Amino acid sequence: MENTQISNETDNHAAQISMIAALNDRLRQTYWGGKVMTTSGVSALPDEIQIQVFRAVSEFDTFTEENDPHGEHDFGKVEVAGHSFFWKIDYYDNRMECGSEDPTNPDVTTRVLTIMLTGEY
């Protein structure tokens, strides 16, 4: 009985991580399902470079144990026009006052994708 309970908890956790990753991928790939922020360093770059950065972030698919240890697809690094950028997705409650209690539930979670120069991290 105990092994079955552990197995069910593991399966449930894996399903939650999969849902979080899918919601994060949707935001990153379509810029829909949350808010998108850029740092002052990114905003100061020419529009053409910013467009390239947004494209690179949306096309990012190189998730590894090093950059995605929890499997949530919530962090990555891209190189554009000689600059290095990090992107990060955080999960807040809908009032943006604290972390979301359930990042698998888009009804109670506001996702925020932040794109920054690596030196701004």
DSSP string, 52-69: HHHHHHHH-----TTT-T
Structure tokens at 45: 């770059």
Please report, as a single letter, which amino acid is at residue 57.
Answer: V
Question: What per-residue confidence (pLDDT) applies to 2?
Answer: 58
pLDDT in tens, 62-110: 999 999 999 999 999 999 999 999 999 999 999 999 999 999 999 999 9
* CA distances (Å), origin 68, targets 21, 50, 71, 82, 108: 10, 24, 5, 24, 24
CA 16 remoteness from chain centre? 15
pLDDT surpasses 60 at 5: no
Rounded Cα distance between 77 and 56, Å, is: 9
Residue 88 confidence (pLDDT): 98
For residue 28, the model assigns a pLDDT of 99
